[in-house]
A and B are shown apart, each in its own frame.
Chain A
Amino acid sequence: MAQITLSNLAHTYTPEGGQQSDFALKEMNHIWHDGGAYALLGPSGCGKTTLLNIISGLIKPSHGRVFFGENDVTDIPAEKRNIAQVFQFPVVYDTMTVRENLAFPLKNRGGSKVEVQARVAQVAKMIGLDGILDIKARGLGADIKQKISLGRGMVRESVNAILFDEPLTVIDPHMKWELRTQLKSLHREFGHTMIYVTHDQTEALTFAENVVMLYEGEVVQIGSPEALFESPQHTFVGHFIGSPGMNLMAAKVQGNHALVGGHAIPLQGSYGNLSGYTQIGIRPEYIEFCGAEGLPCRIDRVEDIGHRRIVRTEAAGVAIDVVMPAGAPIDPTMTYLHFPAEKISVYKDHWRIEHGWA
């Protein structure tokens, strides 16, 4: 196991690409800790799979270096990097039994028969495959096949990292919970470095301690789920994290208040006079309805999704979502929106600005 260091890493698929826009990944410097659980989160085409393939060694980066611990592995191919990978669609060797599948990576590395069998039995027990070891892999369900590919990774004792490329895509919602908790307990127990690529925020936030948010080839924020939720550094993070995402509205920021459609909204501190494109953002979870003060609004629709209610409103010409607990009453006196000042984020040209105290 090892710490992963990305040093001045960037990648372009066009060989002579000097243009910034040609880069699938823009230059980044990061150190990912040994034994950490990381999620690479972003929409399709944001570069998350490219980054994963660079770490696994399937792609050689056009710029920069990758280190596992002290070792520069940039030029080392995937098969020599001692990593494991679980793919979007289950990859199993159809004609082999579950046991043979699990034993395959060890056999290829020349393990003795006794050692291999002992290790396979141990791993099978860990991931709950011990009952079906002698069944052919071909006819099994998607969730079990995914467990087999995970098992094939874990069977090698010294793997540097386990990489997951949207591993729950083809799994039913119920099985997702089971597989994810199993992954987490394996992580707790064995402490492998795990890197998990997904477009699904729930998967990323629940799986990882550190979420790496990618947008157009750039890491826009790395942080804990709380940090991404509470203080998104970029409007895209605000929009992408949370369901529904952060409400963003163009605003004129003057000192300690923001003007939205002529209404003054108090802010927690002073921002001076911001130039450029300024926006304020607030999570739907933190907005409160009230009868008199704040931003006048009109309720368009109320959606009940079981554990919570989403109220779709319009205020100052912008659509604003409000989230309320399940069963919360909706009544006609709810004509104003109140934004608690400490929950408002201010953005200048899409990047978050911290306030001063004036």
Chain B
Amino acid sequence: MSLKVQNNKAWFLVLPVLVLVMFSAVIPLMTVVNYAFNDTFGNNQFFWNGLGWFEEMVQSERLHAALGRQVLFTGIILLVEVPLGIFVALNMPKKGFWASLCLVLMSLPLLIPFNVVGTIWQIFCRVDIGLLGRAAAALGIDYNYTSDAFDAWVTLIIMDVWHWTSLVALLCYAGLQSIPQAYYHAARIDQSTRWNTFRYIELPKISGVLLIAILLRFIDSFMIYTEPFVVTGGGPGNATTFLSIDLVKMAIGQFDLGPAAAFSLMYFLVILLVSWVFYTVMVTRDAEQDR
């Protein structure tokens, strides 16, 4: 009797997924790898280019600028959404009708497709017909996201906060719900301040889900494409051209397939690396708690 595998039947059930993933992910990825190391002039003729494209991309100022914008954007997003999400979760009703209502309302933004979110905000903020744009103009605020880089950034950040803070809040809320009442009672009896209760009871207990929330928000915001593409199209100028928008411009706009492919591989590796770091932190944290 085999000591390795308990029930081989399970593998047959996984097979269809494996085949699908082969077609949808692995084969396209290999194509990208192919483009990254070769040069082509069409007709399926390829010339070996080694690490040439990679060198070019690593030294490209255009890419550095896009990466800078991307890091800044993701940084701001995390700095706003994580504390805000925790704050919202702490102040949500714990049970009853209002709790259910809050949960439903908060999940709504998460259910809207990305391009629809983009379109909503694109129209909402337009100075000529948008509710927000017109209102700002009426109040005498000089606001125009199509021409002012700062305004474009503010618009994108507010949009992302509106779209995704719920995710952080809902995850934290679930974490908070699992804290036994006795902890709060004990804290009251110890005359703990609200901040200390958060710092020593709530934060340690939600740190697990919080890490997952941060990871998800990092990946998503680092790869953001649809919403800024719909709202600003990367403009004005290149002000909101984030990594993925730049990548698409390079690949589809200019047909620089080689550099774009090399670029996407590096992009992919960065995300993989960060995710791995998060994963390691979470696993060692769990092991410490099980001890």
A residues lining the B interface (CB < 8 Å): 56, 58, 77-79, 83-85, 87-89, 91, 93-96, 104-105, 108-109, 138-139, 149, 152-153
Contact = CB atoms under 8 A, between A and B. Distances in A.
Interface in B181-224: 182-183, 185-186, 188-193, 196, 200-201, 204
Would you call the interface of chain B mostly helix, strand, loop, or mixed?
helix
Given A89-B182, A95-B200, A104 B190 contact: yes
Interface of B: 180, 182-183, 185-186, 188-193, 196, 200-201, 204, 288-289, 291
Contacts of B190: 104-105, 108, 152
A108 B200 contact: no
Nearest to A104: B190
Contacts of A108: 190-193, 196
Contacts of B183: 91
Given A108-B196, A138-B289, A139-B291, A87 B191 contact: no
A96 B200 contact: yes
The residue among A83, A84, A95 with the most chain B CB atoms within 10 A of its own CB is: A95
A109 B191 contact: yes
Given A87-B186, A91-B183, A138-B289, A79 B200 contact: no
Task: Classify the interface of chain A: helix, strand, loop or mixed.
Answer: mixed
Contact of B189 (A78, A95, A138): A78
A129 B227 CA distance: 58
Nearest to A153: B189
A95 B204 contact: yes
B189 A84 contact: yes
Given A79-B188, A104-B190, 7 more contacts: A56-B189, A83-B189, A85-B186, A87-B182, A87-B186, A96-B200, A104-B196
Contacts of B189: 56, 78-79, 83-85, 105, 153
A149 B185 contact: no
13 contacts: A77-B188, A85-B185, A88-B182, A91-B180, A91-B182, A93-B204, A95-B200, A95-B204, A105-B190, A108-B190, A109-B191, A139-B291, A149-B186
Contacts of A85: 185-186, 189
Instruction: List 8 tightest A-B contacts by C-beta distance, closest first.
Output: A87-B182, A105-B190, A91-B186, A108-B191, A93-B200, A79-B188, A78-B188, A95-B204
Contacts of B289: 138
B185 A58 contact: yes
A85 B187 CA distance: 10
B204 A104 contact: no
Nearest to A152: B190
Nearest to A105: B190
A89 B196 contact: no
A273 to B, nearest CB: 53
B125 to A, nearest CB: 43
A95 B183 CA distance: 14
A199 B196 CA distance: 34
Nearest to B196: A108
Contacts of B180: 89, 91
Contacts of A95: 200, 204
B232 to A, nearest CB: 43
Nearest to B182: A87
B191 to A, nearest CB: 4
B201 A93 contact: yes
Contacts of A91: 180, 182-183, 185-186
Contacts of B186: 85, 87, 91, 149, 152
A105 B200 contact: no
Instruction: Give the residue among B186, B189, B196, B291 with the most A Cβ atoms within 10 A.
Output: B189
Contacts of B191: 79, 105, 108-109
Contacts of B185: 56, 58, 78, 85, 87, 91
Most buried by A among B182, B185, B190, B196: B190
A79 B192 CA distance: 9
B291 to A, nearest CB: 5
A147 to B, nearest CB: 14
Contacts of B193: 108
A87 B190 CA distance: 13
A161 B204 CA distance: 30
A198 to B, nearest CB: 16
Contacts of B288: 138
B284 to A, nearest CB: 14
